[in-house]
Amino acid sequence: MKHCEAITFLISESQDRSLTLGERFRLKTHLMMCRHCRTYEQSVHQIRDMMKSYSSLDEVSSTETQRPDPRNH
């Protein structure tokens, strides 16, 4: 098994779908042993938060023009 490389892929997938029980177990046990992947997982979560702030920066701008948000359609 390719350890960290495969785990980083699983970490990414966990952002887009719910992992199976087996996948979650594999992820958890690896993270308990590997601090690099733990740090990586944290960063992936932080990137998602950053993207939220980033898109709300654009929303702040767009409210100034009183424009309906096309994302609601």
Partner 1 sequence: MSELLNIDFASYGVKEHLQSYLNEIWPQMRLFAQRQLRQDALAEDLVQEALLSAIQNADKFKGQAAVKTWVFSILRRKIADHFRKSPRTPTDQTVNMTDESEESLDILFDERGRWHPHFQPVEWGNPEATRVQDEFWVTFDLCLNELPEQQCTTFMMREYIGLSTDEIVSELKISINAVNVTLHRARIRLQQCLSIRWFGEQQ
Q: Which does 18 bind (CB under 5 to 8 A by kind): partner 1, Zn ion, none?
A: none
Considering only residues 33 to 62 of the shown chain, the ones binding Zn ion according to CB under 5 A are 34, 37
Q: Name the CA dihedral angle for 22, 24, 25, 31, rounded to a multiple of 10 degrees.
A: 150
Q: Judge contact between 31 and 6, C-beta under 8 A.
A: no
Which DSSP symbol is given to 17?
S
Binding region for partner 1 (CB under 8 A): 1-6, 8-9, 12-13, 15-17, 36-37, 39-40, 42-44, 46-51, 53-55, 57-58, 61-62, 64-65, 67, 70-71, 73
